[in-house]
Chain A
Amino acid sequence: MKGIYLSHLPLSAKVFCTLFLLGIGLGSLAAFLQASTAVGLSYEDVKSSLAPEMPMMPMEHGQMSMEKEIDLGQISHTAKVWIRTPLLIQTSHTHLFGQTLIAGLLGLIFLFSSLGEWKKSIILALPFVGTLIDIGGMWLTRFIWQPFAVLVLIGGSTFALGYVLITAISLYELWLKRGARV
């Protein structure tokens, strides 16, 4: 970009970029562990956490109550994170800001890559697009159609793909690319 490339940055800037990228990577790893313990990582886990609670009996229009005998086994005995609308609003607000800032800082570093403009544009867009698909998928799952839960997984993967590409290419250019100045 304008003749300034990662490989030609001064040592202090290289250290800064490297530590920032590694920090975000460790944060992602911690996020992965948290999600696996708090919510679960399968499509079914995501769907059951986000989908609205459904009645156990089909009540007809105008019917005010319904009762049926159940077996105690039908009552949940496991912990489940159920992401209801207020939590969804809270999560969307904090993480649209947070993830967009992370995507912005990743993109800022990547602007100085020596890749062609098209490749660079596509790769730096991935974390932004992933964030939008991730959060958007949560709302669509809750209010439109439960199978949209797959978008949450696609969004998370797109964000991670963007991070890994940006980090791998940036670290290569910072430290290994021929002509890299240390």
Chain B
Amino acid sequence: MRPRQLAKTIGFALVFSLVLGRGAALAHITPPVILISDRDAVLSMTNGAKKFFVREVRLSPEERETLRKQLGWQADEEFYRFYLGRDEQGKVVAAVAFMTEFTIHGPVRVAVGLGPDGKVKDAKVVEMTEETYPWLKPLLDQDFTRNYVGQDSHGNFTMAAGHDGGQENMTLFYGQIVASLIQRAAGLFEIAVLKRGDI
């Protein structure tokens, strides 16, 4: 290749790759399926709230240990966040926590609405990957998270309590993950808010 031809080729390649290359860098992330935005989840789970607050909590080593023993969950995030809806008198109407599990097929993220007594008021799957979606869809169509409403973290969060049978293995596997995330949110609220008497 002659020097002039090579220079032309490099010029073309530079322009082309500056456009194309920006995408190549991040193209390996499996696209997420977002079923509901964070804002809409908070809004729908805090009916009756007039004011909204964000509370961020850190767990002490003892609290982490309690969660590990109680739920078999290693709560190792630096901090956890709750969105609180309060009425005009400032009383908590509901708290919402977003919980995530990182599976081999990507993250599954759930919004959990909790009453001031620590019981589940509502739960919605907010995010999963395109790969996980077909497995979870049969359960989402049944609105299976409703089966956990009214339970606190000591309730029955097994899939046996949350589906009508006849599901394939991966559906049950991911259903159990969602159920566990709901239980974790309830446990976290109990340990980091209710037991501290800080509501």
Residue pair B32, A38 in contact (C-beta under 8 Å): yes
How near does chain B come to A33, taking the closest CB pair, in angstroms? 7
Cα distance, A28 to B21, chains bound together (Å): 8
Known: A59-B79, A67-B55. A156 touches B23 (CB 8 A): yes
- A window 118-160: CB within 8 A of B: 119, 130, 134, 137, 152-153, 155-160
Interface residues on B, range: 35 or more
Known: A81-B32, A161-B14. A28 touches B79 (CB 8 A): no
Partner of A160, one of B21, B55, B84: B21
Main secondary structure of the interface of B (DSSP, over half): mixed
Known: A38-B32, A159-B24. A65 touches B57 (CB 8 A): yes
Cα distance, A55 to B58, chains bound together (Å): 11
Residue pair A35, B26 in contact (C-beta under 8 Å): yes
Q: Counting CB contacts under 8 A, is A163 at the interface? A: yes
Residue pair A76, B22 in contact (C-beta under 8 Å): no
Residue pair B25, A77 in contact (C-beta under 8 Å): no
Known: A75-B39, A164-B17, A165-B10. A69 touches B102 (CB 8 A): no
Residues of B within 8 A of A78 (CB): 37
Q: Which of A8-16, A86-94, A104-112 lies on the face that meets chain B?
A: A86-94
* A31, closest chain B residue (CB): B27
Q: Which A residues lie at the B interface, using CB under 8 A? A: 28-39, 41, 46, 49, 55-57, 59, 63-79, 81-84, 86-87, 90-91, 94-95, 98, 114-115, 119, 130, 134, 137, 152-153, 155-165, 168-169, 172-173, 177
Shortest 10 CB-CB distances between A and B: which pairs?
Answer: A156-B25, A32-B23, A160-B21, A31-B27, A157-B21, A160-B17, A86-B102, A164-B13, A79-B34, A161-B17
Question: What are 15 residue pairs bridging A and B, where the CB atoms are less than 8 Å apart in the complex?
Answer: A31-B28, A32-B20, A32-B22, A34-B27, A46-B25, A64-B58, A70-B52, A76-B37, A79-B32, A79-B34, A114-B1, A152-B26, A159-B17, A164-B16, A172-B9
